[in-house]
Amino acid sequence: MNIWKIATRWSDKGDPNSSIIDIFRKYNILFAGREQDYIKRSVKPNDIIAISDGITIVSIGKVLDKPKKITDFPLDDIDINSSRFDYEDWVIGFKVSLFDLKKEDWFNYRQGTFHGVNGKYYEKIKALFEKYNEDYSVNAKFSINAKTCTLK
């Protein structure tokens, strides 16, 4: 399994709720900028993506399918017409399961738009993904016990 870092600038004030992250969350997709053969050849399903606001890692996700053109994803007109990104064939994206990190888990990691992660940061991101994925799985399991009755 590979771990990748994608850097984006979500807002001038670092507020991840005010910009492009909204689209990431709404559709569970990420886009990595220009369509490049390197990204298409490298990113595979089950890889982990660390998403940064500048250099601060604030979200992580697991890749669910192969990278493809952003125009292949069904987005709402309001998002397509947004000035937050270019909705053109040259933008590449992929479907992900996405988790926002709690602020205490944020950390800084080197600049760069897209690159592989190795060494201690590989282990740190992998551990965070496993923690958040497990927390989500535990919290997502529930059961409903209900009786049926008839009204007379």
- What are the residue boundaries of the structural domains of the chain, listed by start? 3-140
Torsion of CA 123, 128, 133, 138, to 10 degrees: 120
Bridge partners (DSSP) of residue 113 are none
**Does the pTM exceed 0.85?**
no
> Dihedral of CA 75/88/71/48: which sign?
negative
At 17, the pLDDT band (50, 70, 90 cuts) reads: very low
Torsion of CA 17, 92, 46, 73, to 10 degrees: 70
Q: Does residue 135 have a pLDDT over 80?
A: no
User: CA–CA separation, 68 vs 93, rounded Å?
Assistant: 6
SS3 80: helix
Q: Which helix (H) or strand (E) holds 24?
A: helix 21-27
Q: Could you confirm whether domain 3-140 is CATH 3.10.20?
A: no
Cα end-to-end span (Å), the chain = 60
Tell me the average pLDDT across 9-36: 65
